[in-house]
A = this chain, B = another copy of it.
Amino acid sequence: MQRLEERIRREGKVKADGVLKVDSFLNHQMDMAFLGELAQEFYRLFGDCGVTKILTIEASGIGIACMTAQAFGVPALFAKKTKTKNIAGEVYTSQVASFTHGVSYDIMVSKEFLRPGDRVLMIDDFLANGNALLGLAELVKNAGAGLIGAGIVIEKTFQPGGEKLRRQGIRVESLARIRSMSVERGVEFY
Protein backbone atom coordinates (compact mmCIF):
# COMPACT_ATOMS: atom_id res chain seq x y z
CA MET A 1 0.00 0.00 0.00
CA GLN A 2 1.83 2.99 -1.34
CA ARG A 3 0.57 5.66 1.04
CA LEU A 4 1.62 3.48 3.97
CA GLU A 5 5.09 2.87 2.54
CA GLU A 6 5.53 6.59 1.98
CA ARG A 7 4.51 7.32 5.54
CA ILE A 8 6.89 4.69 6.93
CA ARG A 9 9.73 6.14 4.82
CA ARG A 10 8.92 9.64 6.03
CA GLU A 11 8.26 9.03 9.73
CA GLY A 12 9.63 5.58 10.56
CA LYS A 13 12.84 5.30 12.54
CA VAL A 14 15.02 2.21 12.34
CA LYS A 15 16.74 1.55 15.66
CA ALA A 16 20.04 -0.23 16.17
CA ASP A 17 18.29 -3.11 17.95
CA GLY A 18 16.21 -3.98 14.87
CA VAL A 19 13.08 -2.14 15.96
CA LEU A 20 11.18 -0.01 13.47
CA LYS A 21 9.44 2.83 15.29
CA VAL A 22 6.29 4.12 13.65
CA ASP A 23 4.81 5.50 16.81
CA SER A 24 3.98 8.89 15.31
CA PHE A 25 0.92 7.42 13.57
CA LEU A 26 0.39 3.71 14.30
CA ASN A 27 0.96 2.47 17.81
CA HIS A 28 1.68 5.19 20.36
CA GLN A 29 0.29 8.31 18.80
CA MET A 30 -2.44 7.21 16.41
CA ASP A 31 -3.61 9.10 13.34
CA MET A 32 -7.22 7.96 13.22
CA ALA A 33 -7.95 9.20 9.69
CA PHE A 34 -4.93 7.34 8.37
CA LEU A 35 -5.76 4.22 10.40
CA GLY A 36 -9.21 4.48 8.84
CA GLU A 37 -7.61 4.27 5.39
CA LEU A 38 -5.66 1.17 6.42
CA ALA A 39 -8.89 -0.32 7.78
CA GLN A 40 -10.61 0.28 4.43
CA GLU A 41 -7.81 -1.63 2.75
CA PHE A 42 -8.37 -4.57 5.13
CA TYR A 43 -12.05 -4.35 4.25
CA ARG A 44 -11.20 -4.46 0.55
CA LEU A 45 -9.12 -7.60 1.16
CA PHE A 46 -11.37 -9.47 3.60
CA GLY A 47 -14.76 -7.76 3.19
CA ASP A 48 -16.36 -10.72 1.40
CA CYS A 49 -15.30 -13.33 3.99
CA GLY A 50 -18.23 -13.04 6.39
CA VAL A 51 -16.08 -11.72 9.24
CA THR A 52 -18.02 -11.47 12.53
CA LYS A 53 -15.23 -10.37 14.86
CA ILE A 54 -11.89 -8.54 14.82
CA LEU A 55 -9.34 -9.99 17.25
CA THR A 56 -6.11 -8.34 18.36
CA ILE A 57 -3.78 -8.29 21.33
CA GLU A 58 -3.17 -5.44 23.75
CA ALA A 59 -1.93 -2.81 23.52
CA SER A 60 -0.40 -1.65 20.24
CA GLY A 61 -2.89 -3.47 18.00
CA ILE A 62 -6.01 -2.00 19.57
CA GLY A 63 -6.12 1.24 17.57
CA ILE A 64 -5.96 -0.36 14.13
CA ALA A 65 -8.25 -3.20 15.28
CA CYS A 66 -10.89 -0.68 16.38
CA MET A 67 -10.82 1.13 13.06
CA THR A 68 -10.98 -2.17 11.18
CA ALA A 69 -13.92 -3.33 13.29
CA GLN A 70 -15.66 -0.06 12.47
CA ALA A 71 -15.03 -0.62 8.74
CA PHE A 72 -16.47 -4.15 8.96
CA GLY A 73 -19.36 -3.20 11.24
CA VAL A 74 -18.44 -5.92 13.74
CA PRO A 75 -17.08 -5.86 17.32
CA ALA A 76 -13.38 -5.71 18.14
CA LEU A 77 -11.99 -7.98 20.84
CA PHE A 78 -8.54 -7.69 22.33
CA ALA A 79 -6.70 -10.49 24.10
CA LYS A 80 -5.36 -9.41 27.48
CA LYS A 81 -1.83 -10.13 28.55
CA THR A 82 -2.25 -10.76 32.26
CA LYS A 83 -4.98 -12.05 34.47
CA THR A 84 -6.59 -9.09 36.20
CA LYS A 85 -9.59 -8.74 38.46
CA ASN A 86 -11.55 -7.58 35.45
CA ILE A 87 -11.26 -10.92 33.67
CA ALA A 88 -12.52 -13.51 36.09
CA GLY A 89 -14.11 -16.82 35.22
CA GLU A 90 -14.21 -18.54 31.94
CA VAL A 91 -11.41 -17.63 29.57
CA TYR A 92 -9.43 -19.15 26.72
CA THR A 93 -5.69 -18.80 27.20
CA SER A 94 -2.52 -19.38 25.23
CA GLN A 95 1.14 -18.56 25.72
CA VAL A 96 3.21 -16.09 23.72
CA ALA A 97 6.99 -15.74 23.67
CA SER A 98 7.71 -12.02 23.39
CA PHE A 99 10.51 -10.74 21.20
CA THR A 100 10.17 -7.19 22.51
CA HIS A 101 10.24 -8.07 26.18
CA GLY A 102 12.30 -11.25 26.15
CA VAL A 103 9.83 -13.21 28.28
CA SER A 104 6.79 -15.41 27.81
CA TYR A 105 3.35 -14.30 28.84
CA ASP A 106 -0.19 -15.61 28.79
CA ILE A 107 -2.94 -14.08 26.73
CA MET A 108 -6.62 -14.63 27.26
CA VAL A 109 -10.05 -13.78 25.99
CA SER A 110 -13.38 -14.34 27.66
CA LYS A 111 -15.19 -17.40 26.32
CA GLU A 112 -18.31 -15.25 26.17
CA PHE A 113 -16.96 -13.24 23.26
CA LEU A 114 -15.39 -15.93 21.07
CA ARG A 115 -17.94 -18.49 19.94
CA PRO A 116 -17.94 -21.49 17.61
CA GLY A 117 -20.04 -19.55 15.09
CA ASP A 118 -17.60 -16.63 14.89
CA ARG A 119 -15.52 -15.91 11.80
CA VAL A 120 -12.45 -14.15 13.12
CA LEU A 121 -10.06 -11.76 11.42
CA MET A 122 -6.89 -11.17 13.42
CA ILE A 123 -5.43 -7.66 13.14
CA ASP A 124 -2.04 -6.46 14.36
CA ASP A 125 0.33 -3.59 13.80
CA PHE A 126 3.43 -5.73 13.18
CA LEU A 127 4.28 -9.26 12.07
CA ALA A 128 7.86 -10.23 12.89
CA ASN A 129 8.34 -13.50 14.76
CA GLY A 130 4.65 -14.26 14.62
CA ASN A 131 4.31 -15.48 18.17
CA ALA A 132 1.53 -13.10 19.15
CA LEU A 133 -0.48 -14.02 16.06
CA LEU A 134 0.08 -17.73 16.64
CA GLY A 135 -1.19 -17.25 20.19
CA LEU A 136 -4.28 -15.49 18.90
CA ALA A 137 -4.84 -18.24 16.32
CA GLU A 138 -4.73 -20.78 19.14
CA LEU A 139 -7.41 -18.85 21.06
CA VAL A 140 -9.61 -18.95 17.95
CA LYS A 141 -9.00 -22.66 17.55
CA ASN A 142 -9.75 -23.34 21.21
CA ALA A 143 -13.05 -21.51 20.81
CA GLY A 144 -13.95 -23.65 17.80
CA ALA A 145 -14.38 -20.46 15.80
CA GLY A 146 -13.42 -19.99 12.16
CA LEU A 147 -10.16 -18.19 11.40
CA ILE A 148 -10.47 -16.03 8.29
CA GLY A 149 -6.90 -14.79 8.32
CA ALA A 150 -4.56 -12.10 9.58
CA GLY A 151 -4.47 -8.47 8.51
CA ILE A 152 -1.09 -6.93 9.28
CA VAL A 153 -0.05 -3.33 8.88
CA ILE A 154 3.73 -3.95 8.62
CA GLU A 155 5.35 -7.31 7.95
CA LYS A 156 9.07 -7.79 8.45
CA THR A 157 9.53 -10.46 5.79
CA PHE A 158 13.11 -11.13 6.88
CA GLN A 159 11.78 -12.54 10.16
CA PRO A 160 10.04 -15.91 10.26
CA GLY A 161 6.53 -14.93 11.43
CA GLY A 162 4.87 -14.65 8.04
CA GLU A 163 6.18 -18.00 6.90
CA LYS A 164 5.16 -19.68 10.17
CA LEU A 165 1.59 -18.42 9.83
CA ARG A 166 1.28 -19.20 6.11
CA ARG A 167 2.70 -22.70 6.67
CA GLN A 168 -0.23 -23.29 9.02
CA GLY A 169 -2.57 -22.39 6.18
CA ILE A 170 -3.44 -18.97 7.58
CA ARG A 171 -4.14 -16.29 4.99
CA VAL A 172 -1.88 -13.33 5.79
CA GLU A 173 -2.35 -9.95 4.12
CA SER A 174 0.24 -7.29 4.97
CA LEU A 175 -0.22 -3.70 3.87
CA ALA A 176 3.53 -3.01 3.85
CA ARG A 177 6.12 -5.76 3.43
CA ILE A 178 9.64 -4.84 4.50
CA ARG A 179 12.41 -6.65 2.62
CA SER A 180 15.24 -5.27 4.72
CA MET A 181 16.05 -2.36 6.96
CA SER A 182 19.03 -0.80 8.65
CA VAL A 183 19.95 2.37 10.49
CA GLU A 184 22.13 3.43 7.54
CA ARG A 185 19.91 2.61 4.56
CA GLY A 186 16.50 2.87 6.18
CA VAL A 187 13.63 0.67 5.03
CA GLU A 188 13.33 -1.27 1.76
CA PHE A 189 9.96 -2.67 0.71
CA TYR A 190 8.93 -5.40 -1.70
Chain A residues packing against B (C-beta within 8 Å): 15, 17, 19, 21, 23-25, 27-33, 35-36, 58-60, 62-63, 66-67, 69-70, 73, 75-78, 80-81, 84-88, 100-101, 109-110, 112-113
A-B contact pairs, 29 of them (CB 8 A): A15-B85, A15-B88, A19-B86, A21-B86, A23-B87, A28-B87, A28-B109, A28-B113, A29-B77, A29-B110, A29-B112, A29-B113, A30-B69, A30-B76, A32-B66, A36-B70, A58-B58, A58-B59, A58-B62, A59-B62, A59-B80, A62-B62, A63-B66, A63-B76, A63-B78, A66-B66, A84-B101, A85-B100, A86-B100
